[in-house]
């Protein structure tokens, strides 16, 4: 009897030992992803017509995906095979290349200038099709269609809407630096397809997209001082909406597109933030402090206007109800935080932050009041959120030149936008296209 009890006891202890020991499955905890980008293969699209393919669709798609920072397209020369249909893919070949996703497709001729594009996306590890579409496209729309394909792939793989089919506006300064020419430019999000909206010998500043993406508000000095204009992208027609005495500057659209928040000095040198109803020219003063109050930015829900104020000495970010009310300070970290831009979801804000003498882009978590520096330049400025809130475009200095750069909102991925002539500054990312 005593022997049995002892044996039982031993058994219990052993069971405990073994289950707590390493004979159970090894458990490994992963608390962060260090992988920067998913290796993806965008195989050149097949062309079944005569002559050369009408457009390098795969090239555009690969560039779009690379620019997002979340994908790393493998170079065409590394491809062991170039399938154009799902049936032709040998997944083992792609696993060797560590490719996780493969995109194949074809351009099929329909008429002289019309085509059908088809593409399929496969998960290499599982050999599963993730996405497949066929779509018509005219010759002059092939690039736009390629951007659409990029966005479809991006959204399927990340769960986030892509921004390849959106646009950017920026100020381009060209010519002799002592007698420069200022241009207001609108281009595709990849920097291609640039179109000059306005050219002037006087400075152009602060382009801002209307919420429907059809108009740009900006500041032009063409009449000797700063004045605010609104220009239609489609027709090019423009209207001067504020030419009051003193400064008229820093326009920001209300989410309903009916009002602008802007900065006026009314001739007494004191900059304050106002709202202006565009159609009626009804002006409402939002702030009334003797310090500089400027750079208003309307929150996506239309409730708040964020702005820069140096009432305490250095510039810091404040917010005030758009309907008027008591301003509230938002940033406290560091001596210099300026030019707020609130993310589309309203949870974050990007600012220009002085980091030990360097002007860098920082993102502020508005819920947790936590500031994170995203860039490492020394004269970074003018941050603007992509409409999906995932990427920020900003102006950086490359030598003496201003260039455009991208940084992911988590700061992990940074890229430079293809260089253009002259200096590029003040990028503004368009909203999603409105149909």
Partner 1 sequence: MAAALLNPAAPARGPLLISVAAHVLLLLFLSTNFVMMPRQAPVPLAIQAVVVNPEQLVDSEAAAAAARQAAAEQRRREQQAEQARREAEQRQQAEQAAAERRRQEAERAATAAAEEQRQAAQRAAEQREAERKAAEAKAAREAQAKQAAAAQAKAEAERQRREAEAARERERQAAAARARAEAEAAEQARRQAELLAAIEAEEALAAAQNSGALNEYVSLIQQQVQQRWVQPASAVVGIECTVSVRQLPSGEVVEARVTRCNGDETVRRSVENAVYAASPLPLPRDRLLFDRNLTFTFKPEVD
Partner 2 sequence: MKQWSKGIAFGAMALILAGCAGKSGTATDDEFGSESGSAGGALSWPDDEGGADGSAMPIGDDRASVVMNDRIVYFAYDSAELDDGSIEILKQHGRYLADNPGETVRLEGHADERGSREYNIGLGERRAVAVQSMLLIHGAAPEQLVTVSYGEERPASLGTGDEVWALNRRVELAYAR
Looking at residues 409 to 428 of the shown chain, list those that interact with partner 1 (rule: CB under 8 A).
410
* 1 in contact with partner 1 (CB under 8 A): no
Question: In whole angstroms, how large is the CA radius of gyration of the chain?
Answer: 27
- Ramachandran angles phi, psi of 54, nearest 5°: -70, -20
Count CB neighbours of 90 within 10 A: 11
Query: Within a 13 Å sphere around the CA of 95, how many CA atoms are in the beta-carbon half?
Result: 8
Residue 358 host element (H or E): strand 358-365
Residue 355: name its binding partner from partner 1, partner 2, none (Cβ under 5 to 8 Å by kind): none
* 93 in contact with partner 1 (CB under 8 A): no
Structure tokens at 275: 């709202």
* 176 in contact with partner 1 (CB under 8 A): no
* 390 in contact with partner 1 (CB under 8 A): yes
- Ramachandran angles phi, psi of 16, nearest 5°: -65, -45
Sheet hosting strand 248-253, strand order edge to edge: 248-253, 259-264, 272-277, 283-285
Residue 256: alpha-carbon gap to chain centroid: 21
CA atoms of 217 and 238, how far apart (whole Å): 9
Residue 247: name its binding partner from partner 1, partner 2, none (Cβ under 5 to 8 Å by kind): partner 2
Residue 144, classed as helix, strand or coil, is helix
Of 303, 239, 244, 304, the closest CA to residue 271 belongs to 244
* 4 in contact with partner 1 (CB under 8 A): no
Which x/- pattern over 350-389 shows residues binding partner 1 (rule: CB under 8 A)? ----------------------------------------
Pick from 6, 35, 212, 419: which binds partner 1 (CB under 8 A)? 35
Stretch that binds partner 1, among 14-22, 79-87, 189-197, 204-212 (CB under 8 A): 14-22
Count CB neighbours of 409 within 10 A: 20
Q: CA angle, corner 309, sides to 333 and 376, nearest 5?
A: 45
Total residue length of the chain = 435
Residue 226: name its binding partner from partner 1, partner 2, none (Cβ under 5 to 8 Å by kind): partner 2
Residue 14: name its binding partner from partner 2, partner 1, none (Cβ under 5 to 8 Å by kind): partner 1
In the complex, least distance from residue 123 CB atom to partner 1, rounded to whole angstroms: 7
CA atoms of 92 and 74, how far apart (whole Å): 16
Residues that bind partner 2 (CB under 8 A): 177-179, 201, 203, 205-206, 221, 224-226, 246-247, 249-250, 263, 265, 267-269, 271, 292, 294-295, 308, 310, 314-315, 336, 338-339, 352, 354, 359, 379, 381-382, 397, 400, 425-426
Count of residues near partner 1 by CB under 8 A: 35
Of 152, 129, 151, 221, the closest CA to residue 184 belongs to 221
Pick from 29, 50, 78, 176: which binds partner 1 (CB under 8 A)? 29
In the complex, least distance from residue 35 CB atom to partner 1, rounded to whole angstroms: 4
- Cβ proximity to partner 1: between 18 and 419 the closer is 18
Pick from 76, 93, 123, 310: which binds partner 1 (CB under 8 A)? 123
Of 245, 253, 325, the closest CA to residue 287 belongs to 325
Residue 109: name its binding partner from partner 1, partner 2, none (Cβ under 5 to 8 Å by kind): none
Stretch that binds partner 1, among 10-18, 230-238, 280-288, 297-305 (CB under 8 A): 10-18
* 348 in contact with partner 1 (CB under 8 A): no
Query: Within a 13 Å sphere around the CA of 182, how many CA atoms are in the beta-carbon half?
Result: 17
DSSP category for residue 331:
-
Binding site for partner 1 (CB under 8 A): 7, 11, 14-15, 17-18, 21-23, 25-39, 70, 98, 100, 123, 125, 157-160, 390, 410
């Amino acid at each position: 009897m005593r022997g049995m009890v002892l044996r039982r006891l031993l058994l219990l202890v052993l069971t405990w030992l073994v289950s707590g020991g390493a004979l159970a499955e090894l458990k490994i905890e992963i608390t962060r992803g260090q992988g920067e980008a998913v290796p993806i293969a965008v195989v050149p699209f097949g062309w079944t017509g005569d002559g050369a393919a009408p457009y390098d669709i795969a090239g555009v798609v690969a560039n779009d995906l690379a620019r997002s920072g979340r994908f790393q397209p493998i170079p065409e020369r590394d491809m062991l095979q170039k399938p154009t249909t799902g049936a032709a893919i040998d997944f083992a070949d792609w696993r060797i290349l560590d490719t996780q996703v493969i995109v194949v497709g074809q351009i099929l001729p329909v008429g002289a200038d019309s085509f059908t594009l088809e593409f399929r996306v496969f998960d290499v590890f599982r050999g599963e099709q993730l996405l497949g579409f066929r779509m018509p496209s005219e010759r002059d729309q092939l690039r736009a269609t390629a951007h659409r394909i990029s966005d479809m792939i991006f959204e399927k793989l990340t769960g986030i809407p892509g921004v390849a089919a959106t646009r950017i506006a920026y100020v381009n300064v060209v010519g002799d630096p002592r007698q420069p020419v200022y241009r207001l430019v609108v281009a595709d999000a990849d920097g291609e397809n640039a179109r000059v909206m306005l050219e002037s010998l006087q400075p152009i500043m602060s382009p801002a997209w209307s919420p429907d993406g059809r108009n740009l508000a900006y500041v032009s000095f063409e009449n000797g001082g700063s004045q605010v204009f609104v220009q239609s992208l489609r027709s090019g027609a423009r209207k001067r909406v504020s030419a009051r005495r003193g400064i008229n500057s820093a326009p920001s659209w209300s989410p309903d597109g009916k009002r602008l928040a802007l900065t006026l000095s009314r001739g007494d040198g004191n900059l304050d933030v106002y709202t202006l109803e565009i159609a009626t020219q009804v002006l409402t003063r939002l702030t009334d402090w003797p310090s500089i109050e400027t750079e208003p930015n309307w929150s996506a829900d239309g409730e708040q206007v964020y702005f820069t104020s140096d009432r305490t000495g250095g510039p810091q970010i404040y917010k005030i109800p758009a309907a008027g009310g008591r301003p509230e300070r938002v940033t406290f970290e560091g001596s210099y935080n300026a030019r707020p831009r609130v993310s589309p979801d309203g949870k974050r804000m990007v600012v220009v932050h002085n980091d030990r003498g360097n002007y860098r882009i920082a993102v502020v978590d508005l819920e947790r009041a936590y500031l994170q520096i995203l860039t490492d330049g020394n004269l970074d400025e003018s941050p603007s959120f992509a409409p999906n809130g995932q990427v920020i475009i900003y102006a950086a200095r490359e030598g003496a030149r201003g260039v455009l750069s991208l940084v992911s909102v988590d700061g992990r991925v940074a890229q430079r936008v293809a260089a253009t002539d002259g200096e590029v500054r003040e990028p503004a990312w368009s909203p999603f296209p409105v149909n």
